[in-house]
Amino acid sequence: MKEYPKLYNLKENCCGCTACASICPKECIYMEFDDEGFMYPRVDYNKCINCYMCKSVCPFKVMEGINGNVKNYV
């Protein structure tokens, strides 16, 4: 079975755009505020079906695919 998606490793590799949460067909990604008031996605793995649509729309993953210069995002 595919691994559950990990959307980012470092905060600098997530801009909180909410694209992943918007596209998730199971609505299992929710945005949470950190202590500084920035939003980051969290996945409810109990509902996730490993479709990876969240990763396919993430601008950081797309940039990585194009020019390979975004590191440590997983």
Sites of contact with ligand SF4 (CB under 6 A): 5, 7-8, 14-20, 24, 26, 28-29, 41, 43, 48-54, 57-60
Q: How far is the CB of 8 from ligand SF4 (least distance, A)?
A: 5
* Burial per residue of 6-26, b for 16 or more beta-carbon CB atoms within 10 angstroms, e otherwise: ebbeeeebbeeeebbbeebee
CB nearer to ligand SF4: pick between 18 and 34? 18
Please check whether residue 19 is in contact with residue 59, taking contact to mean a CB–CB distance below 8 angstroms: yes
Q: How far is the CB of 71 from ligand SF4 (least distance, A)?
A: 15
Ramachandran category for residue 27: left, alpha or beta (phi over 0 → left; psi -120 to 50 → alpha): left
CB nearer to ligand SF4: pick between 35 and 43? 43
